[in-house]
Amino acid sequence: METNLLSSEKAVNQPSYSPKILDLTAKLWFTLATVGQWIFGYYIVAFYHISTFSGDFEKWNKVLPKGYVAGDWQGNLMTGIHVVLAAVVVIGGPLQIMPFVRNRFPMFHRILGRVYVFTAMLISIVGLAMVWTRGTVGDMTQHVNISIQSIYIVAFAVLTIKFAREKQFIKHRMWALRLFMVANGVWFFRVGLMAWLVIHQAPVGFNPETFSGPFLSVLSTVVYSVPISLILLEMYFYAQKKQNQTFSYATSAVIFVFTLVMALGIFGATMGMWLPRI
């Protein structure tokens, strides 16, 4: 079906039925996620690219407790690579998913696809090294959870490329979407945290000084190691495959609720986190 996120003009073996409401909610979710990710991308470019390429590395420390450490060139290099390349994943991800871009500019899709997959893997491996060698905010639960996510990212990236090479495009698109979900875990974490803060108007369920507590343990689990985003995506796939109207409506309703929470979180993160730092 032309309108769904898995669609392609030349797609074959695609389900021929999918209630409009499922396509609409998926599109709404994706449009909002794209807007939110590009705002995050804008922040990364305006804050990290400008400070890095102008040599003002100490500016990283306005945000990162262990961003720039005098004398630790390896650690600083890892941080630089991580934050500069993050823009490729955050800005390039939605472009890779858009059926319009994929169908109209196949060469661009192939080039950006390779760059995206390689960058997502590199960032994850570098991020993993940063967590366990440099240390970062948060407690052990958060560190273990994000580490598990980095394994998903590398594994899903390999599968995405494998199926593209084998020209199994339906599987390729499914793994590309799974990769998109896990590669955006850090974005979901920020959006989830800010939605919570907007709702409660206070740091409920965690200690902002130590950046730990039950809420953050749960949040890091449901965005990193047992990602809700991936569960929703599997529901979306299943709804398309099964063509069961009730399940499709239920899936649409769940996606819609998460879209509302995401809208709140994007608003909170943009106004309270990203724009003020630029």
- Considering only 95, 176, 186, 235, the residue that binds ligand HEM (CB under 6 A) is 186
**How many C-beta atoms surround the C-beta of residue 27 within 10 A?**
13
| Closest to ligand HEM by CB, 24 or 45 | 45
Task: Give the footprint of ligand HEM on residues 136-175 (CB under 6 A).
Answer: 136-137, 146-147, 149-150, 153
| 228-231 contacts, C-beta under 8 A, 24 or more apart | 228/258, 229/181, 229/182, 229/184, 229/185, 229/188, 230/178, 230/181, 230/182
CB nearer to ligand HEM: pick between 36 and 127: 127
Burial (CB count within 10 angstroms: exposed 0-12, middle 13-18, buried 19+), residue 103? middle
The answer to whether residue 183 forms part of the interface with ligand HEM (CB under 6 A) is yes
Cβ of residue 203: shortest distance to ligand HEM, in angstroms?
A: 17
Q: Which residues are bridge partners to 207 per DSSP?
A: 212
Residue 207 backbone dihedrals phi, psi, to 5 degrees: -100, 115
Q: Binder to ligand HEM among 5, 26, 39, 86 (CB under 6 A)?
A: 86
Stretch that binds ligand HEM, among 4-12, 24-32, 127-135, 198-206 (CB under 6 A): 127-135
Task: Locate 52 and state its tokens.
Answer: 């890095």
Q: Does residue 65 interact with ligand HEM by CB under 6 A?
A: yes
Chain centre to alpha carbon of residue 238: 21
Kindly tell me which residue out of 92, 127, 192, 265 binds ligand HEM, with binding defined by CB under 6 A: 127
Helix (H, G, I), strand (E, B) or coil at 215: helix
- Pairwise CA distance, residues 245 & 249, whole Å: 6
For residue 212, list its beta bridge partners.
207
- Let me know: does 121 contact 89? Beta carbons within 8 Å: no
Name residue, tokens 């871009």: 101
Q: Does 63 bind ligand HEM (CB under 6 A)?
A: yes
Shortest Cβ distance from residue 154 to ligand HEM (Å)? 9
Which amino acid would we find at residue 104? R
User: Please, which residue, 174 or 191, has the CB nearer to ligand HEM?
Assistant: 191
Among 5, 80, 82, 160, which residue interacts with ligand HEM (rule: CB under 6 A)? 82
CB of residue 67 vs ligand HEM: minimum separation in angstroms? 6
- Of residues 193 through 252, those in contact with ligand HEM by CB under 6 A are none
Cβ-based nearer residue to ligand HEM, 25 or 145: 145
Count of residues touching ligand HEM (by CB under 6 A): 27
Binding residues for ligand HEM, per CB under 6 A?
A: 44, 63-67, 82-83, 86, 89-90, 120, 123-124, 127-128, 130-131, 136-137, 146-147, 149-150, 153, 183, 186
